[in-house]
Amino acid sequence: MKIMSALLCALLPAAPPPDPVHLTVDPRSLPLTTGPCNARELSVRLANTSTQPLYADAELSAPRALHLQRTLVSTWLPAGYTSTVPVRVSATTGTPPGDYRIRVGAIDVPVTLSAPAPSATLVTRAAEVTAASFRAKNPICAATDGDPATFWSDGTTKYWPDWFQLGWNTPVTVSRADVTTPPGNGLRDWDVQVWSGGWQTVASVRGNTATTRTSRFPPRPTSAVRILTLSGNGLGDLSRIAELTVS
Ligand SMILES: [Ca+2]
């Protein structure tokens, strides 16, 4: 009998060793709204369950309708270590709503895509959120994330003007712009402009030292609004906008 067992073991292929890398994704399903600054984040977690250091990686793929910040997560993991990598997922305005699927390694993450509700803010409904330039640490969407502690800043110290712009695929009506800047080193002078075959200034702020300034103007139908920044207060001589809302 022992001989038979030994013979079988020799003839049968050995079972593959268990994968020492444990992959998890959080959340396991993702509701997502279209729009450049409505991205959501997936946390891709790779854990080394073995007693040896190793390289671990996970490939990500998605239909063309979804934009993945990266399609490969690759990391060096000492024994017993876990690495968590955030991956931003977004979809362009106008992408058909519906059910999509992101593949992370062997894991499927269902994505439910919807358009912003008609009652959503104009910032949420913007099809384009752009700026003259930006710094990696202070990206464009930091000015529309609802968090006054994060801000956009331009990438050209001491060069003025800069601009920060919202655009819509269908015309909207605007009569108010609220600009929040970081306390101490925020914006001092700027114009609020609307697109009407060219940029037209509808409000100007000069000598500002407040954190939030509201500009009101007669209602204007338009497809884009921009803040033309002219000068700032203090540190680094940069344009900084912590939050912009228009209505
Ligand atoms: Ca912010």
pLDDT at 231: 95
Distance 42 CA to ligand 1 centre (A): 20
Asked if CATH classification 3.90.1710.10 holds for the domain at 21-114, the reply, yes or no, is: no
pLDDT at 6: 58
What's the average model confidence in pLDDT over 29-57?
97
The CA angle 79-80-81, to the nearest 5 degrees, is 95
Is the Cβ–Cβ distance between 138 and 153 less than 8 Å? yes
Distance 220 CA to ligand 1 centre (A): 26
pLDDT at 170: 94
Task: Identify the helix (H) or strand (E) that includes residue 6.
Answer: helix 2-11
Distance 138 CA to ligand 1 centre (A): 9
In the chain, where are the structural domains located? 21-114, 122-246
Cα–Cα dist 164/129, whole Å = 8
Query: Ligand 1 (ion): which residues have CB within 5 A?
Result: 142, 145, 147, 150, 242
Out of 38-42, 132-136, 182-186, 187-191, pick the least confident: 182-186
pLDDT at 5: 60
CATH code for the structural domain at 122-246: 2.60.120.260
- Does residue 206 register a pLDDT over 80? yes
Distance 152 CA to ligand 1 centre (A): 7
Distance 165 CA to ligand 1 centre (A): 15
Distance 36 CA to ligand 1 centre (A): 15
- Does residue 234 register a pLDDT over 60? yes
Helix and strand totals (H; E) in the chain? 2, 17
pLDDT at 7: 55
| Count of C-beta atoms within a 10 Å radius of residue 7 | 10
Distance 148 CA to ligand 1 centre (A): 5
Distance 244 CA to ligand 1 centre (A): 8
| Count of C-beta atoms within a 10 Å radius of residue 190 | 29
Q: Answer positive or negative: Cα dihedral of 47, 49, 53, 54.
A: negative
Distance 142 CA to ligand 1 centre (A): 4
Question: How confident is residue 157, by pLDDT bands cut at 50, 70 and 90?
Answer: confident
Distance 141 CA to ligand 1 centre (A): 8
Nearest to 29 by CA among 116, 115, 112, 114: 112
- pTM to 2 decimal places: 0.86
Cα–Cα dist 152/113, whole Å = 27
